[in-house]
């Protein structure tokens, strides 16, 4: 049966359309790799990535926030430490003006404001206040002369002379004077105490004068008078001179030349040997122990006028006591000593620091037992002093084994009450002497 003309034309049209579609698909498949490679090569030049959109968004927000800042909740003010300086008022005002008020809600955030609107929204009061803040900041940043008040001077000089350390030095000198054989001479005792105290004040003041740049790096010493600029270096040196000259003169002519020579030697040893050695070698600890051992010897020589075995025994007790005391203290201050540039056993030789502390804790047992042998105390003293000597030796052993802050603090605080109690027990057990055994009066 023959097909109708309409059916034939429909088939021819469908075949032509199908051929065109087939041709286009084939050409697209053949050319698509070339177009893809071309697009991949130019992707860095044409492609708009997510980073571009983020950058445009940040630019828009930055322009918008010139006059529209979000109001954030201010952080709570930190608790001020007693060792830190107060923040200047200019800095606080500058931080306050960084937070600007919210803009009127009538401005829509959906559109980008033009420059005229930004200028109009900027409050004129903020501009005027910011100019005033800049003027105040410039004035407050200028160097101003610190005025020294007369009623503040005694406290400043007391801190300059390390009054607590000076009190310890005078008390050990008094113990040496009281333990010496012979009658107790009150005028000589008072002159010895005053002269030793003045010499100690002079040595401590010169020590702080030399260590100003190093003390400023340590938390423990950054509030000293010279570091903070409360007094001038000239005033500190003048004060040290006014203490050293009459102190040595009182010890030399008011007591005896031997005691005056020991006082002068101790000032020299502390300021010219111990102070510079603190930044050179760990030998400074042994030199400092000698400095601390001389005051009781001065008390003995002030009462007897001579260097006897008892003077060396008292010096040995003070010498050994200082190692557990100072080594335990320096163990908790290792970071401070490192920042200050000091060469301490606890920083450079931590194992030696613990061993030396333990050795001298045990040495206190031996020295206490030698006191009755040298005819200074009765035989009761080694037994009554055994508990406190055994306890500090136990704490020294714990410090040697544990090597932590807790054990070092326990040893340090024990040393604070151990020495006064040990000297008090020595005075209690002092050997009584008759008139025939009295020592000759001091020359």
Residues 252 and 331 in one domain: no
The structure tokens 């500058």 sit at 94
pLDDT over threshold 60, residue 77? no
Q: Which of 246, 281, 316 is the last residue of a domain?
A: 281
Cβ within 8 Å of residue 204, ≥6 positions away: 160, 161, 162, 165, 166
Q: Is 24 inside a domain boundary?
A: no
Q: Which of 263, 281, 299 is the last residue of a domain?
A: 281
Least confident of 59-63, 185-189, 309-313: 59-63
Least confident of 137-151, 186-200, 238-252: 137-151
pLDDT over threshold 50, residue 108? no
Q: Whole domain around residue 427: which residue ranges? A: 308-432
Residues 316 and 372 in one domain: yes
Q: Are 285 and 344 in contact (CB under 8 A)?
A: yes
Q: Which of 281, 297, 316 is the last residue of a domain?
A: 281
CATH of the domain at 196: 1.10.357.140
pLDDT over threshold 80, residue 29? no
pLDDT over threshold 70, residue 423? yes
Least confident of 29-33, 68-72, 188-192, 368-372: 68-72
Instruction: Report which of 256, 290, 169 is spatially closest to residue 442, judged by C-alpha positions.
Output: 256
Q: Are 295 and 196 in contact (CB under 8 A)?
A: yes
Considering only residues 280 and 91, tell me which one the structure prediction assigns the higher pLDDT: 280
Q: What is the pLDDT of residue 398?
A: 96
Residues 333 and 260 in one domain: no
Least confident of 35-44, 166-175, 189-198, 317-326: 35-44
- Distance between CA atoms of 66 and 132, rounded to whole angstroms? 21
Considering only residues 324 and 126, tell me which one the structure prediction assigns the higher pLDDT: 324
CATH of the domain at 374: 1.20.120
Residues 261 and 312 in one domain: no
The pLDDT confidence band at residue 339, using thresholds 50, 70 and 90, is confident
Residues 272 and 182 in one domain: yes
Q: What does the pLDDT look like over 170-227, one tens digit per residue?
A: 999 999 999 999 888 999 999 999 999 999 999 999 999 999 988 888 888 888 999 9
Q: What is the pLDDT of residue 432?
A: 83
Q: Is 412 inside a domain boundary?
A: yes
Domain count, the chain: 2
Q: Is 105 inside a domain boundary?
A: no
Q: Is 158 inside a domain boundary?
A: yes
- The half-sphere exposure of 406 on its side-chain side, counting CA atoms within 13 A, is 3
Least confident of 87-96, 175-184, 320-329: 87-96
Residues 162 and 274 in one domain: yes
């Amino acid at each position: 049966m023959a097909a109708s003309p309409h059916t034939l034309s429909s088939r021819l049209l469908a075949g032509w359309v199908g051929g065109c579609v087939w041709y286009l698909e084939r050409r697209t498949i053949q050319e698509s790799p070339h177009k893809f490679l071309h697009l991949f090569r130019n992707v860095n030049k044409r492609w708009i990535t997510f980073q571009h959109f983020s950058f445009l968004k940040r630019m828009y927000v930055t322009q918008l926030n010139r006059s529209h800042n979000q109001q954030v909740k201010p952080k709570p003010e930190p608790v001020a430490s007693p060792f830190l300086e107060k923040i200047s008022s200019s800095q606080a005002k500058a931080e306050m003006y960084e937070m600007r008020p919210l803009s009127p809600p009538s401005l829509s955030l959906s559109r980008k404001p033009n420059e005229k609107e930004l200028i109009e929204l900027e409050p004129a009061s903020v501009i005027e206040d910011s100019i005033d803040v800049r003027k105040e900041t410039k004035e407050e940043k200028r160097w101003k002369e610190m005025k020294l008040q007369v009623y503040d001077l005694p406290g400043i000089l007391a801190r300059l002379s390390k009054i607590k350390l000076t009190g310890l030095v005078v008390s050990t000198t008094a113990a040496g004077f009281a333990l010496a054989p012979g009658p107790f001479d009150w005028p000589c005792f008072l002159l010895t105490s005053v002269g030793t105290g003045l010499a100690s004040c002079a040595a401590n003041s010169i020590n702080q004068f030399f260590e100003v740049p190093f003390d400023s790096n340590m938390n423990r010493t950054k509030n000293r008078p010279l570091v903070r600029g409360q007094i001038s270096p000239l005033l500190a040196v003048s004060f040290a001179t006014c203490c050293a000259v009459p102190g040595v003169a009182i010890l030399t002519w008011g007591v005896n030349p031997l005691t005056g020579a020991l006082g002068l030697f101790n000032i020299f040893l502390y300021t010219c040997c111990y102070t510079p050695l603190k930044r050179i070698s760990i030998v400074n600890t042994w030199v400092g122990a000698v400095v601390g051992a001389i005051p009781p010897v001065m008390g003995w020589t002030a009462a007897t006028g001579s260097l006897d075995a008892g003077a060396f025994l008292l010096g040995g007790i003070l010498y050994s006591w200082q190692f557990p005391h100072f080594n335990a203290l320096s163990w908790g201050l290792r970071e401070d000593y490192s920042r200050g540039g000091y060469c301490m056993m606890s920083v450079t030789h931590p194992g030696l620091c613990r061993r030396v502390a333990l050795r001298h804790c045990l040495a206190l047992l031996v020295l206490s037992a030698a006191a009755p042998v040298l005819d200074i105390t009765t035989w009761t003293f080694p037994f009554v002093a055994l508990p406190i000597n055994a306890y500090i030796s136990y704490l020294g052993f714990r410090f040697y084994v544990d090597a932590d802050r807790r054990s070092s603090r326990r040893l340090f605080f024990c040393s604070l009450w151990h020495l006064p109690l040990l000297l008090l027990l020595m005075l209690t057990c002092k050997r009584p002497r008759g008139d025939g055994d009295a020592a000759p009066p001091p020359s």
